[in-house]
């Protein structure tokens, strides 16, 4: 049996920090000595943009080598892997056509398991220590595919009044997925875009800690302009500015995530 762990970053709330967290934890895991494959599951292609410039990302989208084409045609994803500029860090890019993936899945046999099957050979090969999947801000057949393909789920939550709204829907959805994929584990909630000067942050943390059986990662991520500059340059924040606060926070969060499976 392979030791590859598949972790997805999902939350139906848009802008909660899924892509930022997925891209930076992926890089963080390579810094800890792991080999990582990232899978961009969103038509916005933000995970792909975290590592490649716009021209390159649009090239992925228009060429045949992207997640949409593979899932639509139920292909082994091994042939869709792209090397990033970083050692031990690879990517399966997305496509803007991902917007019609729900339609494509609709008529397929065992449609909740298609992504899992497309990833099976990569997982079985044991080539990667981790596969990290970035989900779009929706709950439906495609996100169900992402969750079913995963061993663990991290829910990034923005520390804002609306950041918590909708979390109940996410838990309900997770419960439904666990009925067909009981081994899927909720690893925890990662709190992002925190402004510690605001009292609202404390209230968010207290509300989250009151949730039964839900782990909240100790290392939260503060609002930091280094994140935006890093994204503007298509590099992870740890590579952009190792001394920045968010680089350190993402490394600590990565260690916490790594620690859950050791």
Ligand X SMILES: Nc1ncnc2c1ncn2[C@@H]1O[C@H](COP(=O)(O)OP(=O)(O)OP(=O)(O)O)[C@@H](O)[C@H]1O
Is 221 a binding residue for ligand X by CB under 6 A? The answer is: yes
Is 224 a binding residue for ligand X by CB under 6 A? The answer is: yes
Is 227 a binding residue for ligand X by CB under 6 A? The answer is: yes
Return d(Cα 27, Cα 32) in angstroms, integer: 9
Q: Given the complex with ligand X, which of 37 and 190 has the nearer CB atom?
A: 190
Joined together, the tokens standing for residue 96 give 């803007």
Is 19 a binding residue for Mg ion by CB under 5 A? The answer is: yes
| Angle at which helices 245-259 and 18-31 cross, to 10° | 80
Q: Given the complex with ligand X, which of 19 and 181 has the nearer CB atom?
A: 19
Q: Which residue has the tokens 């292909």?
A: 75
**Residue 17: contacted member of Mg ion, ligand X, none (CB under 5 to 8 Å, by partner type):** ligand X
Is 46 a binding residue for Mg ion by CB under 5 A? The answer is: yes
Only segment of 75-83, 121-129, 202-210, 219-227 that touches ligand X (CB under 6 A): 219-227
Return d(Cα 173, Cα 144) in angstroms, integer: 8
Is 195 a binding residue for ligand X by CB under 6 A? The answer is: no
List 30, 46, 66, 84, residue binding ligand X (CB under 6 A): 46
Return d(Cα 216, Cα 154) in angstroms, integer: 10
- Do strands 82-83 and 5-9 pair parallel, antiparallel, or not at all (unpaired)? unpaired
Number of residues in the chain:
262
Is 84 a binding residue for ligand X by CB under 6 A? The answer is: no
Torsion of CA 128, 134, 138, 141, to 10 degrees: -20
3-state secondary structure of 76: coil
Q: Given the complex with ligand X, which of 40 and 122 has the nearer CB atom?
A: 40
Q: Given the complex with Mg ion, which of 19 and 66 has the nearer CB atom?
A: 19
Q: Given the complex with ligand X, which of 104 and 224 has the nearer CB atom?
A: 224
The minimum distance between CB 110 and ligand X, in angstroms, equals 27
Q: How many residues bind ligand X (CB under 6 A)?
A: 21
Minimal CA–CA distance to 118: which of 68, 159, 152, 167? 68
3-state secondary structure of 235: coil
Joined together, the tokens standing for residue 224 give 């930091």
- The residues binding ligand X (CB under 6 A) are 14-20, 42, 44, 46, 136-137, 192-193, 221, 223-224, 227-228, 231, 246
- The residues binding Mg ion (CB under 5 A) are 18-19, 46
């Amino acid at each position: 049996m392979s030791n590859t762990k598949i972790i997805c970053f999902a939350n139906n709330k848009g802008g909660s920090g899924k892509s930022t967290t997925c891209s930076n934890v992926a890089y963080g895991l390579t810094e800890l000595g792991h080999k990582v494959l990232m899978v961009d599951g969103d038509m916005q292609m933000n995970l792909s943009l975290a590592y490649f410039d716009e021209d390159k990302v649009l090239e992925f989208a228009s060429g045949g080598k992207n997640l949409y084409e593979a899932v639509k045609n139920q292909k082994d994803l091994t042939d869709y892997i792209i090397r990033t500029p970083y050692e031990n860090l690879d990517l399966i890019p997305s496509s803007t056509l991902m917007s019609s993936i729900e339609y494509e899945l609709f008529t397929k046999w065992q449609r909740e398991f298609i992504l899992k099957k497309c990833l099976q050979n990569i997982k079985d090969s044991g080539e990667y220590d981790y596969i990290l999947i970035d989900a779009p801000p929706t709950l439906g057949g495609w996100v169900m595919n992402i969750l079913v393909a995963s061993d663990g789920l991290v829910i990034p939550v923005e520390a804002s009044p609306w950041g918590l709204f909708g979390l109940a829907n996410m838990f309900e959805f997770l419960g439904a997925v666990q009925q067909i994929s009981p081994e899927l584990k909720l690893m925890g909630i990662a709190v992002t875009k925190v402004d510690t000067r605001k009292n609202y942050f404390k209230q968010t943390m207290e509300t989250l800690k009151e949730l039964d059986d839900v782990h909240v990662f100790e290392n939260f991520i503060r609002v930091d302009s280094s994140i935006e500059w890093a994204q503007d340059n298509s590099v992870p924040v740890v590579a952009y500015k190792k001394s920045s606060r968010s680089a350190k926070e993402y490394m600590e969060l990565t260690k916490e995530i790594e620690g859950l499976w050791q």
